[in-house]
Amino acid sequence: MSYVRVLLGIVVWGMSSCVMASSGENLSLPAFSTSTSTSSATACASKRRVVWDIDDVLCQDIRSQDKTDVLNKIKTLFPECRIVAVTISREDLAEAEYFIQEESETLTHVFLPFIEEALLYVHEQNWENCFFSSGHEVRNQALMENYLPQVYGAECYQQLFRENGNRVFSNCHLSDGYYGKKTKDLDTVIPSIDKVSGVGIKNTILVDDQFSYAQKGQESMIVGKGSHQLFRGDIDMYSKTKSPSLGDVGIHPLADNKVLQMNQVYYFLGILDSCAEKIKSNPELDLRSALDMVLPRDCSHKKYRSGHDYKIDYCIWPELSDPVIYQLAKRGLKIVQKKHSHARFYIPNNGWAKADLLKVMQEAGDTDHVSTVSYLDGF
């Protein structure tokens, strides 16, 4: 089935942002103009968009047989993580080729800490959030239609929905890639008016944990750190501390996939805020050019390099142990702390992680006290 919504009108987006849902108020947006004047078309044509992957970037699904115990522990340790469950009918599951015998299945997703702040930040910049997952459309639509009203507030979400905001794209929208894999061609999410103007693709960027989803010519993107088992039952993974012998050969706690993913929203926000700062200084700057100016490019010291077919030279996979990545994450953390004063970096509670943190703070010139850390005891 197709849930893709048709464009309801040309929207003038120069309006104030919705009040965030966490304020406890569901205030609606001011009425949008549907004028088709030249000035309106120009404003729409220069719309900046951030296209978010869903799985392992926004959230992770829980597949543990002990789901109840896992969820209870997550709620206790990380109350800042939103948990969203969606029930899919047998009919829809069959269409999505899930092949199960039950009448329905409830799919439970844990959203990463404070990830909604990145979505709200994009909205507050008067940019557009879109979502593009290689998962099945029936799951993607049900999940985001449940989650997004919690982020924006119900009335604000409905207003954005009426204006074709927060569009969701799925596996049926994937394109054939130049690298032999299916890709998330960003041209798919750009309305016709932006394609005519020619600036739409330059103002649209992808956030994903898999670099292979980039279409040729769209390799400049924000790449997160995917950790598929973060919330899938191995709840004590962080109590398994790294040994000094492992550390001596280059495996350090702050370079661990799970550490960066727990802090991922800070990293995303640091990049987006840096882009917004450059665009503020030069309003004609497109989002992709701003991103290219912000992303770290000198990665000669990194073990992770661009793939053989990907002709770019900035870091693909970030690590919190890298001073440049740390500085971006710290910038994002400060943004989150404006609304959530208790927000902290998440790192394992062991001596090697603390030493790694002090080292990267020193290299980054950060003089803040280490009390900005929230240790992952028992997780």
Tens-digit pLDDT profile for residues 132-156: 999 889 999 999 999 999 999 999 9
Instruction: Give residue 129's pLDDT.
Output: 97
Q: How many angstroms separate the first and last alpha carbons of the chain?
A: 39
Return mean pLDDT, the chain. 77
Instruction: Say which residue, 111 or 26, is predicted with more confidence.
Output: 111
On whether residue 11 sits in a domain, the answer given is no
- Secondary structure element (H or E) that encloses residue 373, with its range: strand 373-375
Between CA 327 and CA 220, with CA 117 as vertex, the angle to 5 degrees is 55
Tokens of 134: 């290689």
Instruction: Give residue 132's pLDDT.
Output: 97
CA atoms of 365 and 370, how far apart (whole Å): 13
pLDDT at residue 14 above 50? no
pLDDT at residue 278 above 80? yes
Give me the mean pLDDT over the 39-43 stretch. Answer: 34
Tokens of 300: 């000669």
On whether residue 263 sits in a domain, the answer given is no
CA atoms of 373 and 375, how far apart (whole Å): 6
14-18, 161-165, 244-248, 251-255 — most confident range: 161-165
pLDDT at residue 88 above 90? no
**Among 366, 355, 343, which residue's Cα sits nearest to residue 78?**
343
Instruction: Give residue 301's pLDDT.
Output: 42
CA atoms of 111 and 56, how far apart (whole Å): 9
**CATH number (domain holding residue 78):** 3.40.50.1000
Instruction: Give residue 256's pLDDT.
Output: 74
| 49-52 sheet: strands from edge to edge | 168-169, 128-132, 49-52, 204-208, 222-223
Between CA 48 and CA 68, with CA 145 as vertex, the angle to 5 degrees is 125
On whether residue 9 sits in a domain, the answer given is no
On whether residue 179 sits in a domain, the answer given is yes
Instruction: Give residue 242's pLDDT.
Output: 44
pLDDT at residue 332 above 90? yes
For residue 137, give Cα distances in angstroms to 80, 189, 215, 242.
27, 15, 20, 40
Tens-digit pLDDT profile for residues 150-171: 999 999 999 998 888 899 999 9
Instruction: Say which residue, 377 or 147, is predicted with more confidence.
Output: 147
Instruction: Give residue 97's pLDDT.
Output: 56
What amino acid occupies position 35? S
Three-class HEC string of 207-275: EECCHHHCCCCCCCCEECCCCCCCCCCCCCHHHCCCCHHHHHCCCCHHHCHHHHHHCHHHHHHHHHHHH
On whether residue 361 sits in a domain, the answer given is no
On whether residue 229 sits in a domain, the answer given is yes
**CA 121 to chain centroid:** 11
71-75, 249-253, 346-350 — most confident range: 71-75
pLDDT at residue 64 above 60? yes
Domain containing 186: what range? 21-235+268-339
Q: What is the crossing angle of helices 115-124 and 137-152, to 10°? A: 70
On whether residue 5 sits in a domain, the answer given is no
Instruction: Give residue 198's pLDDT.
Output: 73
Total residue count of the chain as it appears in this document: 379
For residue 171, give Cα distances in angstroms to 73, 86, 355.
32, 19, 43
pLDDT at residue 12 above 60? no
Instruction: Give residue 44's pLDDT.
Output: 37
CA atoms of 146 and 20, how far apart (whole Å): 16
Instruction: Give residue 120's pLDDT.
Output: 98
Instruction: Give residue 234's pLDDT.
Output: 53
DSSP 166-187: S-EE-GGG-EE-TTSSEE--GG
Instruction: Give residue 6's pLDDT.
Output: 34
CA atoms of 159 and 270, how far apart (whole Å): 28
Give percent of the chain with pLDDT exceeding 90. Answer: 41
Bridge partners (DSSP) listed for residue 223: 208
Instruction: Give residue 249's pLDDT.
Output: 40
345, 366 contact by CB (below 8 A): no
As a 3-state breakdown, the chain gives helix, strand, coil percent values, each rounded to 5, of: 40, 10, 45
CA atoms of 119 and 54, how far apart (whole Å): 12
Name which of 155-159, 172-176, 270-274, 355-359 the model is least confident about. Answer: 355-359
Band the pLDDT of 102: cuts 50, 70, 90: low
Number of domains comprising the chain: 1
pLDDT at residue 243 above 70? no
On whether residue 378 sits in a domain, the answer given is no
pTM, two decimal places: 0.81
- Secondary structure element (H or E) that encloses residue 89, with its range: strand 83-89
